[in-house]
Amino acid sequence: MKLRLIYILIILMYSCDGLDNEPYKLPDNAVALISSDGIKTWKIAERYNGKVRMNMHPCFLSYRQTFLKDSVFYDNNGNSGNCGKTLTGQWHLHKNGKGDHFIKLMSPQISQLLNIPEDYKLFKILYLSEDTLKLAFDHKQYGSNKTIITDLLVREDLDVGDRYYYH
């Protein structure tokens, strides 16, 4: 009986092993969901550093990112006080060998802005709908330490309470 129980537990462990790593199935109309019929603007509703919800500084509260159907993107940083320069470039969907889907932002500005050698950044798509875009990306913090930042973005016109969260 004990051997049978151990055997069942081992089978369950191996059969459940890949469940958390299952790639998110991107909707067939992903480009239209991200850029609407031509242009769509998103705002940050919540931001997490690892598992800790971050308080959003005024630049995050005013931040908007716009995606055009023709693969152009831009943000509004240059229009928002001391929030930095406007980032512009090209975007497209990218799929890695594991089946994970990403939004790939490409711009000559990215290397300097994010202090990375590449002129692109991948944002893993965790969820996508008409109103919601959940993205995760790795971010180099202090020295060589990296963390995962997760952004919950919503359509610009949606009213979102509790954006100025203080933990």
**Host domain of residue 45:** 2-155
What is the rounded CA–CA span in Å between residue 96 and residue 17? 20
Judge whether 163 lies within some domain: no
| 130 vs 166, residue with greater confidence | 130
Q: Do 40 and 153 meet the contact criterion of CB atoms below 8 Å apart?
A: no
Average confidence score pLDDT of the chain: 85
Report phi then psi at 92, rounded to 5. -160, 165
Amino acid identity at 113: L
The one-character DSSP state at 77 is: G
* Cβ atoms of 112 and 120 closer than 8 Å: no
Number of independent structural domains in the chain = 1
On whether residue 165 sits in a domain, the answer given is no
In a domain, residue 35? The reply is: yes
Residue range 57-103, pLDDT digits in tens:
888 889 999 999 999 999 999 998 889 899 999 999 999 999 999 99
Q: What is the CATH number of the domain that holds 114?
A: 2.40.128.280
Q: How many residues does the chain have?
A: 167
124, 132, 139: which is closest to 94 by C-alpha?
124
Q: Give yes or no for residue 50 having a pLDDT over 50.
A: yes
Residue 166 lies in a domain: no
Residue 56 included in any domain: yes
Residue 42 lies in a domain: yes
Distance CA 30, CA 99 (A): 15
Is 79 inside a domain boundary?
A: yes
In a domain, 143, yes or no: yes
